[in-house]
Amino acid sequence: MSSDLTSVPKGIAGPSNFLDERIGGANFLKRNLRKIFPDHWSFLLGEIALYAFILLLLTGTFLTFWFKPSMGEIAYNGSYAPLKGVMMSEAYASSLEISFDVRGGLLVRQMHHWAALLFVAGMMVHMLRVFFTGAYRKPRELNWLIGVLLLTLALVEGLTGYSLPDDLLSGAGLRITEGVAISLPLVGTYITFFLFGGEYPGEDIISRFYSLHILLIPGLILALVSAHLVLMWVQKHTQMPGKGRTNKNVVGAPFYPAFMAKAGAYTLFTFAVVAGLATFTQINPIWLFGPYTPADISAGSQPDWYMGFLEGSLRLMPSWEINLFGTSHAGTLPLSVIIPALVPLGLVMTGLALYPFLERWITGDHREHHVADRPRNNPHRTSIGMSAIVFYGVLWLLGANDELSANFQISLNWTTYAGRVLVFVLPALAYIITYRVCLGLQRSDSAVVSHGVESGVIKRLPHGEFIEIHTPPADDIEAHVRGKEAVPMLPVEADGAGIPPKGMRGPLGKLRARMSRAYGGEKIALDEGHGHGHGHEDEHAAIGSGEDRSLTH
């Protein structure tokens, strides 16, 4: 075995000196080389999105070398025999060229598409992790907002991307985009004519989407991702509750060498998974669809998965259309397009953006938080999150109702009728169930802390009763559980004269107080667990009952 280094090798010391004498990097590195990164599997979810984005930049650049963003019509003369001589746009012809006439072209094209799906998926699960653990709380609200913006941009980036090949499927997506844009009141026709350079489809949309897709939006995403990482670095990562972990420290592995190597390996894993998918799983076989024409479509047209919820909400909507003035020249409001296209997306994105601020308003919690919540310990937040997931999920599922109908032999119309009801009922149900599950889990935590864990040893007492001996939980588990903190609450109690505190008097104040009482407070105190089957007292801690016991237990 070779011996270890005793001094910095010349190859590294030389350039380092050169750099340090010019930019003074050692001051930065002294503080940051051993920066501590806490460890938890869920902290890796956002990294998937980051590495997928890097891969998107690499594969995307490769694709631009051959792709021609033009809608000029040519007769196909490539090597895919079934389409020989067919009139098509240069964009579609060059996409076929990448697929069949460039070595590795198909692989990179498929990697690009898979990485895009993974990019958005990574962002979404990362966002859910941040939401459910309350990692968006002060001081991280800004990074949360950047994240919401990134997700929005990623959706637009995806939409502009899958419209580029100009095959029949991508054209169907474009047509729906046009149908939605033109439905907007007052400005609809203007937006459409400006976007498409005239009437749909025109000859400009591919080249315009191309410059948005490869320059403007990725540039914005890159800038925001950098800001996202810098803020994360400066604020230091949150950590899960556990032994020795407090709001004032961060426990984990150093950036150099451990975290750096892990991040490198994780990048490679992400790349490998995408490469594996691109090798063994066909995605978007554009040559089967043929060139775009507004006169044709194939059944079972589906967008990429992240657009599925919009597709679902469009399918779900009843056929409402209003003519505001009853005249024949203005005032048409196609609600059957405007509502499903804008409301669910607006609801989800606005809700996400505002949540940290609403929560702070309701809890009155202005402290910094660096220890993540376990989702069960803030049951209302977790329930709201689950209900949003279910809302999104129902819409998403209904985006494929024709497939559901075909594969499971259900009446297509009934999938829609059921969806119209379920999109409201299931989120509410999810809320209630999640809330009960959270309280149940809190109760079991409290049982672990106050009674210990089952040891498997049965003991017979002198009077004949059998009991199982409980042993105290392991240190680290107990520390993890004891990291629980009651959800803060505003001082809402009325004083002796029955007058509520300042700021809780008007209608808005009263609402705030009521929400604070429901949202905040300790639902199940840790040290008064009763174990299974003895939770009768806890049953009073119902949703918004205002009977929740306070911290003092």
Partner 1 sequence: MTDIEHEIEQPDERVPKRVIGTPAPGTSMLGDGGPAARDAEVAGVTYQDETKARKAEKIVALCFTITFLAAIAFIISYVVFQVGSPEKTAISNLALGGSLTLALLGLAVGIVVWVRQIMPKYSLIQERHPMVSDEDSREVVAETFLQGAKESGFVKRPLLRRTLLLAAAPLGLIPLVLLRDLDNSKMPGAKFNETLRHTVWGEKTKEGKPLRLVVEGTGQPIRAADFNSPGGILSVVPEGYQHDLNALAKATLILIKFRPDEIKSGTNLNWTHDGIVAYSKICTHVGCPAALYEQTTHHILCPCHQSTFDAADGAKVIFGPAARPLPQLPITVDDQGYLIAKGDFAVPPGPSYWERGDAEAEARAKGGHA
Among residue numbers 104 through 133, which ones bind partner 1 (CB under 8 A)? 104-107, 110
Distances (CA, A) of 364 to 140, 311, 412, 521: 16, 39, 48, 12
> DSSP readout, 432-445?
HHHHHHHHHHHHHH
Q: Residue 272, interface with partner 1 (CB under 8 A)?
A: yes
Tell me the closest approach of the beta carbon of residue 362 to partner 1, in angstroms. 22
Cα 513 to Cα 489: distance, rounded to the nearest angstrom? 9
The span of 147-155, 212-220, 330-338, 467-475 binding partner 1 (CB under 8 A) equals 330-338
Site for partner 1 in 69-88 (CB under 8 A): 73, 79-81, 87
Site string for partner 1, 337-366 (x = CB under 8 A): x--x--------------------------
Instruction: Tell me which of 334, 344, 488, 520 binds partner 1, using CB under 8 A.
Output: 334
DSSP state of 548: -
Q: Residue 319, interface with partner 1 (CB under 8 A)?
A: yes
Q: Residue 100, interface with partner 1 (CB under 8 A)?
A: yes
Cα 177 to Cα 159: distance, rounded to the nearest angstrom? 9
Amino acid at 121: A
Give the relative orientation of helices 45-64 and 260-280 as an angle to the nearest 10 degrees: 60
Tell me the closest approach of the beta carbon of residue 190 to partner 1, in angstroms. 6
Cα 401 to Cα 386: distance, rounded to the nearest angstrom? 22
Site for partner 1 in 234-263 (CB under 8 A): 235-236, 244, 247-254, 257-258, 261-262
Quick one: 16 or 444, whose CB is closer to partner 1?
16
Q: Which residue has the tokens 């809700």?
A: 351
Instruction: Tell me which of 154, 176, 286, 400 binds partner 1, using CB under 8 A.
Output: 176
Quick one: 254 or 440, whose CB is closer to partner 1?
254
Instruction: Tell me which of 85, 299, 463, 465 binds partner 1, using CB under 8 A.
Output: 299
Cα 1 to Cα 332: distance, rounded to the nearest angstrom? 80
Tell me the closest approach of the beta carbon of residue 461 to partner 1, in angstroms. 42
Site for partner 1 in 473-512 (CB under 8 A): none
Quick one: 20 or 528, whose CB is closer to partner 1?
20
> DSSP readout, 103-163?
TTHHHHHHHHHHHHHHHHHHHHHHHHHHHHTTTTSTT-HHHHHHHHHHHHHHHHHHHHHHT
The span of 99-107, 347-355, 491-499, 538-546 binding partner 1 (CB under 8 A) equals 99-107
Q: Residue 333, interface with partner 1 (CB under 8 A)?
A: yes
Cα 366 to Cα 139: distance, rounded to the nearest angstrom? 9
The span of 151-159, 201-209, 439-447, 451-459 binding partner 1 (CB under 8 A) equals 201-209
Nearest C-alpha neighbor of 292 from the set 393, 170, 157 = 170
Site for partner 1 in 33-52 (CB under 8 A): 34-36
Nearest C-alpha neighbor of 218 from the set 119, 343, 341 = 119
Instruction: Tell me which of 331, 472, 544, 546 binds partner 1, using CB under 8 A.
Output: 331
Contact between 338 and 187 under an 8 Å Cβ cutoff? The reply is: no
Quick one: 110 or 382, whose CB is closer to partner 1?
110
Nearest C-alpha neighbor of 372 from the set 284, 290, 483 = 483
The span of 57-65, 189-197, 490-498, 540-548 binding partner 1 (CB under 8 A) equals 189-197
Q: Residue 215, interface with partner 1 (CB under 8 A)?
A: no
Q: Residue 101, interface with partner 1 (CB under 8 A)?
A: yes
Instruction: Tell me which of 41, 280, 408, 466 binds partner 1, using CB under 8 A.
Output: 280
Q: Residue 25, interface with partner 1 (CB under 8 A)?
A: yes
Instruction: Tell me which of 43, 131, 200, 391 binds partner 1, using CB under 8 A.
Output: 200
Q: Residue 32, interface with partner 1 (CB under 8 A)?
A: no
Instruction: Tell me which of 72, 139, 346, 544 binds partner 1, using CB under 8 A.
Output: 139
Q: Residue 409, interface with partner 1 (CB under 8 A)?
A: no
Quick one: 186 or 497, whose CB is closer to partner 1?
186
200: which 2 tokens? 């749909």
Contact between 184 and 191 under an 8 Å Cβ cutoff? The reply is: yes
Quick one: 131 or 287, whose CB is closer to partner 1?
287
Tell me the closest approach of the beta carbon of residue 438 to partner 1, in angstroms. 28
Q: Residue 170, interface with partner 1 (CB under 8 A)?
A: no
Q: Residue 66, interface with partner 1 (CB under 8 A)?
A: no
Cα 356 to Cα 398: distance, rounded to the nearest angstrom? 30
HEC letters along 315-348: HHCCCCCEECCCCCCCCEECHHHHHHHHHHHHHH
The span of 289-297, 461-469, 497-505, 525-533 binding partner 1 (CB under 8 A) equals 289-297
Give the relative orientation of helices 45-64 and 105-132 as an angle to the nearest 10 degrees: 150
Quick one: 235 or 444, whose CB is closer to partner 1?
235
Strands 466-471 and 453-460: antiparallel
Contacts of 370 (CB under 8 A, 6+ apart): 236, 238, 239, 247, 248, 250
Tell me the closest approach of the beta carbon of residue 530 to partner 1, in angstroms. 35
**CA quadruple 57, 59, 65, 68: dihedral sign:** negative
Contact between 210 and 158 under an 8 Å Cβ cutoff? The reply is: no
